[in-house]
Amino acid sequence: MTTPERAAPQRPPTPAAPDRGPDQRAPVLAAQGLSIEFPGVKALQEVDFRLLPGEVHALMGENGAGKSTLIKCLTGVYRPTAGAVLLDGRPVSFSRPAAAQEAGVSTVYQEVNLCPNLTVAENILLGREPRRLGMVDGRAMRARAAEVLEGMGVRADPGSALGSHPIAVQQLVAIARAIVVDARVLILDEPTSSLDADEVEELFRVVRAQRDAGTAILFVSHFLEQVFAVSDRMTVLRNGQLVGEHRTSGTTRLQLVGEMLGRELSASDAAPAARGDDASDREPVLRARGLGRRGGVEPFDLDVHPGEVVGLAGLLGSGRTELVRLLFGADRPDSGTLEVGGRRLRARGPRAAVAAGVAFSSEDRRAEGVVGDLSVRDNMVLALQASRGWARPLPQRAKDELVEEWIRRLDLRPASPDTLVRNLSGGNQQKVLLARWLITRPRVLILDEPTRGIDIGAKTQIADLVLELAAGGTAVVLISAELEEVLRLAHRVVVMKDRRKIAELPGDCSFDDVMGLIARSDDDHAHHELAPAGAERRTA
């Protein structure tokens, strides 16, 4: 399968770094035609990937692009449906993470996977402690750990409990553990997501030193600036497919953002879907003023009018989800006010929001949305029942009629109200979740990634439904990682970046308008700001 803009591995026009010509080297770790399918989702489709020795290679992509899945295939957590993983050119099949580790492929996960109750030295050497007469030699262990940490330039007492150190140090200890096994491949999955700017620099210093020692490093991050600061080459994934493989020095931010967000010239792009009239002259049903939360999203103003679809655009981690969680009261704001239908929402929390007619379909439908062990019928009437109170049960007949109606309108398959929700495909689960809120006839419907991980048919149906609802007077706030989708459906586009609302554009704005806004301000700050401004605020 080939996407139109899929780029061949690029060779720079002039050799920029003659002493480091990674393209000539044989890859340490590679994937050929890697595919993996989960029920209802093609998580990876024929992905080729090459990781060279002595390079920092960034793996880029939006939510659901397949970054984590690729890493899990490389390290033996998942078994690919097709294709091969090559280590030193030979096909390998790691049965479990420990086997990958023994072969020299070490992974440091986003959440530090160490034991906070043990000492730093133990965490570095656990499982390969130096022994004397069959007994663990504590002194030798601390000495060895101290040696490794010193080699990395990290100052931490090897005898201290790991849990007493800040996350940044724990992250470095995790890397030390990987280094101790003489890892030839070091995979860093979002290592910087909870570090501040200084800590990121410290981490990068260690990463660069490892690279210069010949280790191949795979670096996953959604912070563009960090990727440009530390990586030599990059691979971009979107929707489980390879979009491009580039040298960092020959790539612009604009190009990268474009590839990550994707622009598919589809029929609906050429002919924008019929949108309702301009709704902005009506009284807004949702009005946020200075609403914000420290560590979440900076104070913003937002009006949403009846019959209007407001789309949120921005990269992963830009604060899209954080913003809508404030609107719904799922997170407690520490500044600003929120009005629904002209009445100020004083009571905080989702219950107040639901009572005021706001519905929120969460991004993580498995964890926060549907109840897998209940039937389609029970799932659909949950919210309605909750809003009526338990003392007034819904008559069985009314329940059945409603459920039948929505199964029909959403084209749910199988069209049986008694199926357990966990047996449905992702797209159909999403429809059940939507139906649950739609049954309550909300005035404002917040959809966070309603189309993620579902097939194209279900996507179209959900898109049509969004427009139909808006035409019927519902205000819709829509988040999607696919910018095309936002542009197609929204009457107004709110652009987010680094946990800030940076612009509001009319619905007929172009892909390049939005992309330009996101990428341009990045370039503006690039020279004096290595880590994105968001990093520091986020950890505050």
Helix and strand counts by DSSP (H, E) for the chain: 18, 22
From the list 365, 391, 390, the residue with the least C-alpha distance to 379 is 365
Return the number of the residue (177 or 459) whose C-beta is nearest other proteins: 177
Tokens representing 474 are: 């519902």
Beta strand 135-136 pairing with 131-132: antiparallel
Residue carrying structure tokens 């966070």: 448
Separation between Cα atoms, residue 328 and residue 270, nearest integer Å: 34
User: Maximum distance among all alpha carbons in the chain?
Assistant: 82
**Least distance (Å) from other proteins to the CB of residue 266?**
41
Separation between Cα atoms, residue 23 and residue 51, nearest integer Å: 10
Residues that bind other proteins (CB under 8 A): 19-20, 54, 97-98, 101-102, 107, 109, 113-120, 122, 126-127, 129, 131, 134-136, 138, 153-157, 159-161, 163-166, 169, 177, 198-199, 201-202, 205, 208-209, 212-214
Q: Contacts from 5-14 at CB under 8 Å and sequence distance 24+?
A: 5/243, 5/244, 5/259, 6/242, 6/243, 6/244, 7/243, 7/244, 7/245, 7/246, 8/245, 9/50, 9/245, 10/245, 10/246, 10/247, 10/250, 11/247, 12/247, 12/249, 12/250, 13/250
> Running DSSP on this structure, what letter comes out for residue 466?
H
Contact assessment for residue 484 and residue 451, using Cβ atoms and an 8 Å cutoff: no
Return the number of the residue (212 or 529) whose C-beta is nearest other proteins: 212
- The sign of the CA dihedral 134, 136, 138, 143 is positive
Return the number of the residue (70 or 407) whose C-beta is nearest other proteins: 70
Separation between Cα atoms, residue 166 and residue 176, nearest integer Å: 15
Query: Hey, is 232 helix, strand or coil?
Result: coil
Return the number of the residue (99 or 471) whose C-beta is nearest other proteins: 99
**Least distance (Å) from other proteins to the CB of residue 99?**
8
**Least distance (Å) from other proteins to the CB of residue 376?**
29
Return the number of the residue (102 or 468) whose C-beta is nearest other proteins: 102
From the list 208, 214, 250, 217, the residue with the least C-alpha distance to 15 is 250
**Least distance (Å) from other proteins to the CB of residue 73?**
16
**Least distance (Å) from other proteins to the CB of residue 154?**
6
Return the number of the residue (45 or 231) whose C-beta is nearest other proteins: 231
**Least distance (Å) from other proteins to the CB of residue 212?**
5
**Least distance (Å) from other proteins to the CB of residue 157?**
5
Separation between Cα atoms, residue 436 and residue 148, nearest integer Å: 55
Return the number of the residue (209 or 254) whose C-beta is nearest other proteins: 209
Return the number of the residue (159 or 341) whose C-beta is nearest other proteins: 159
**Least distance (Å) from other proteins to the CB of residue 526?**
15
Return the number of the residue (204 or 360) whose C-beta is nearest other proteins: 204
Return the number of the residue (12 or 153) whose C-beta is nearest other proteins: 153
**Least distance (Å) from other proteins to the CB of residue 211?**
9
**Least distance (Å) from other proteins to the CB of residue 422?**
18
Contact assessment for residue 487 and residue 509, using Cβ atoms and an 8 Å cutoff: yes
From the list 150, 146, 101, the residue with the least C-alpha distance to 119 is 146
